[in-house]
Amino acid sequence: MSEEQIRLPKMRGEVLSAVRALADPEYQKRVWIDKIYPNPDFFDDFTLNVNILDDAAILDNPFNVIGYTLASDQEAEAMKALSDRLLQIIEEVGSESTDSAFMASPLWDGVVQAAKNALEVMAP
């Protein structure tokens, strides 16, 4: 299935944006921690990106959204690995924790790497 056949291309774009944010530690420090935004109306943080993935039903079962926001089993497998890492760190650190607490967790590097892997599969 090609990206042209995706039924929810705007949502796919949001998913890609969230994965890019999760894959970029420099962005995370600059935007999530230091709150240096590109314009006054901008906002982004860890929770927002997790919520985007949750709203797109990627956290529950990414295989169910093939054809909607994901294009292939390969993308779903990569997003499943990211989802597993996210759910693990949220359980370990606590869903109400700060972005800096998540980023300080020994599990954070695994989240970033899983996001990088998913990004490579989704946007080569």
pLDDT for 86 equals 98
Q: Does residue 96 surpass a pLDDT of 80?
A: yes
Tokens 């370990």 belong to: 92
Tokens 């230091």 belong to: 34
The reply to whether the predicted model has a pTM over 0.85 is yes
Three-class SS state of 95: coil
Mean pLDDT on 5-26? 96
* Residues in contact with 46: Cβ distance below 8 Å, sequence separation at least 6, in sequence order: 28, 32, 99, 102, 103
